[in-house]
Structure 1
Amino acid sequence: MQRFDEILLLIGRLNYTWTNTESLLIHLIAGLAKVDKETAIVIFLTLNTTRARIDLVERLAKMAKTPKTARRDVLPLLDKLNQQSKLRNKYNHCIYSFDAKGDISHTHLMRIFDGKETIKYGKVEALDDEEIVRISACIKDIAEVNREIWAVVHANGFPQ
């Protein structure tokens, strides 16, 4: 049961780190759209998926009126967030299998993959020591993106 608790703590930390960092998109929206923070919060909350929020920030950054320095600062951060979102999404949209000791042993992805004539679902993957290292690295990477977003917000004078 100790490993079960460790894994749940790690996945909780992954979700906390992600959510905390995703909320910083509010400052990027405010700065790129040239609106106040309150308006950016309303926009952020109206878009109910991470994908939509990242797409909005990316599109705002790509607009011709966006200064090239801001574009150059923001777009790589969005690429990093998109990369880290894959692992985060995996653990938010899966179910778990347990071994005889009651520890989590595998994940089952709750996603349908359509082929021409068949479907596949529930891809099974081990939640082993190697995967735990991947999750830990992902948490560190997301935390680094968090710091980088704050640096961009400050460097570009975006609302805080």
Structure 2
Amino acid sequence: MTRKAPVLADLVEERFDRLILLVGRLNYMWTNTESLLIHLIAGLAGTSKDAAVIIFLTLNTTRARIDLVERLAKMDGRAEGIRDPILEHTRRLGKLSGIRNRFNHCIYSFDPESGNPKTILMRIADRKTDIKMGRSDTLDGEALREIEQVVEDLSTLNRDIWQLITRLDYPV
């Protein structure tokens, strides 16, 4: 019995399944890692984890949560040994947020010729005299490897933040 060559529809489904799995992993790792800011807020603000959860949930963007942690870390009298590692970790998280946003604030479609998944950015870019909408990027093998790298980077960052929380004896 001979095996038929995969048709374009099969390749599209396979690529889409891989993409969805990777974006799901990205979202899981992102949420899990961002939630560690709760422990940093609790420790830096000198409050309970429960109060830090309320603060965390009240701030409805990653940028606001990172800003709060960074500002608390930079307060007068904060030791460099506390401030500097926290700022290093929040900066790493901030850099990864751009890639995370790219894959979460878009819609997905497929290139009709190659079958590659594509993202269509759901953002308006204001220019001097016009606007641009719907920037489209093909999600080829390189883009999928980029998502895999971000998931790996988030996993490493997650472990690093946990180690810092433990070392600083912040509420867990």
TM-score range normalised by the length of the shorter chain: over 0.9
TM-score, reference length from structure 2: 0.89
Is 1:78 the equivalent of 2:90? yes
CA offsets per residue over residues 41-60 of structure 1, 9 Å max, x none? Answer: 11001111111111100110
2-structure distance, mates of 1:101, 1:4: 15
Q: Distance in 1 between matches of 2:141 and 2:56?
A: 36
Quote the offset at 1:65 in angstroms. Answer: 2.9
Query: Paired residue for 2:30, among 4, 18, 40?
Result: 18
Match of residue 94 from structure 1: 106
Distance in 2 (CA, whole Å) between partners of 1:102 and 1:35 is 54
Match of 2:50 among 38, 41, 48: 38
TM-score, with normalisation over the residues of structure 1?
Answer: 0.95
Deviates more, 1:104-113 or 1:37-46: 104-113
Deviates more, 1:1-10 or 1:20-29: 1-10
1:68-96 deviation digits (Å, cap 9, x = unpaired): 21101100001100111011001110011
Greater mean alpha carbon deviation, residues 98-107 or residues 136-145: 98-107
Aligned to 1:154: 166
Q: Deviations over 1:96-137 (max 9, x none)?
A: 121349955211111111111111111111100000110000
Q: Are the aligned partners of 2:41 and 2:52 in contact in 1 as well (CA < 8 Å)?
A: yes
What is the aligned partner in structure 2 of residue 110 from structure 1? 122
More displaced stretch, 17-26 vs 97-106 = 97-106
TM superposition shift of 1:67: 2.0
Q: Percent identity?
A: 52
Q: Say whether the 8 Å CA contact 1:32–1:66 is kept in structure 2.
A: no
Amino acid of the structure 2 residue aligned with 1:156:
L
Amino acid at match of 1:110: M
Greater Rg by CA: 2
Give the secondary-structure state (helix, strand or coil) at the position aligned to 1:106: strand
Aligned residues between the structures: 160
Query: Structure 1 pair 101/116, CA: closer, same or farther in 2 (3 Å)?
Result: closer
Which whole-Å CA distance do the structure 2 matches of 1:87 and 1:103 have between them?
23
Contact 1:108–1:123 at 8 Å: present in 2 too? yes
Q: Which runs of 5+ in 1 are unaligned?
A: none
Deviates more, 1:112-121 or 1:19-28: 112-121
RMSD of aligned C-alpha atoms? 1.5
Range 47-56 or range 102-111, more displaced = 102-111
Q: Deviations over 1:5-59 (max 9, x none)?
A: 1110100000000000000000000011110111101100111111111110011
Call closer, same or farther: CA 1:6–1:16 in 2, change over 3 Å: same
